[in-house]
Amino acid sequence: MNMFQEVTEGVEATASISEEKTLSVIDLIVNGGTGSIVIIMVLFVLLFVAMYIYFERIFAIKAASKIDKNFMNQIRDHIMNGKLEAAKLLCAQTDSPVARLTEKGVARIGKPLDDINTAIENAGTLEVYKLEKNVSVLATVAGAAPMIGFLGTVIGMILAFHEMASSGGQAEMGSLASGIYTAMTTTVAGLVVGIIAYIGYNHLVVRTDKVVHQMEANAVQFLDLLNEPI
């Protein structure tokens, strides 16, 4: 009976130690001290900004890539029949970068082809700028977040060594916990935010390149249309 009680007490003690060693994410942040909390909050704000920009841009790019497959055929029919006003109206009613580029070209029909091409290129530059709005901020977050996390690491290690120096090298591990927590949690948080922002940035770049390619292809198609014999 006594042996059974000893085994039971040993299991309970082991379970108690295991429970004490289990820490939640919130515990890690709180136990890191004021420095850890401040840096984690800054990283949280950067994560929110990155996610907002990513989803706002992804919906904008998705909307910009939508265009009726028969749009250029309708433009071609209107131009061939001399209905330039109808072509302009169709472009105005179609909310897409391709339509706005085409409208610039239609408005300059009758002028030298180089002038038309220049007008389309200038309009295309503005459309690309609109598509890439705030994407550079996402790239900045991707680069800054890990550095902010490493800053927390440096601060945490300074606190840990300061504690050791203040205690004459006799500091216990428990007294160093605050600095170590700050170092570890901020590093992980900074890397997580940086990775998310980096992946989001590259995805937006790929999606933007597809829309730009679509704009270029339709611009070439429009210029070829102007060279067709009427």
- The DSSP result for 174-198, as a single string, is HHHHHHHHHHHHHHHHHHHHHHHHH
> Rg (Cα) of the chain, in Å, rounded?
31
Amino acid at 29: I
Please give the pLDDT value at position 168: 61
Per-10-residue mean pLDDT, the chain, length 230: 46 43 52 69 91 92 81 81 82 83 82 82 86 89 90 74 63 58 77 93 92 85 71
Residue 34 to residue 181: CA distance in whole angstroms: 11
CB-count burial class (<10 Å; 0-12, 13-18, 19+) for 151? middle
Nearest to 79 by CA among 103, 95, 49: 103
Please give the pLDDT value at position 186: 82
* CA 143 to mean position of chain CA atoms: 11
CB-count burial class (<10 Å; 0-12, 13-18, 19+) for 93? exposed
By the 8 A CB rule, do 67 and 96 touch? Answer: yes
Distances in whole angstroms, Cα of residue 230 to Cα of each of 80, 111, 144, 222, 226: 6, 16, 57, 14, 9
Please give the pLDDT value at position 175: 54
Amino acid at 116: I
For residue 22, report the phi and psi dihedrals to the nearest 5 degrees.
-80, 125
pTM, two decimal places? 0.74
By the 8 A CB rule, do 91 and 100 touch? Answer: yes
Please give the pLDDT value at position 13: 45
DSSP state letter for 67: -
Please give the pLDDT value at position 31: 54
Instruction: Provide the sign of the torsion angle of the four alpha carbons 207, 208, 209, 212, taken in this order.
Output: positive
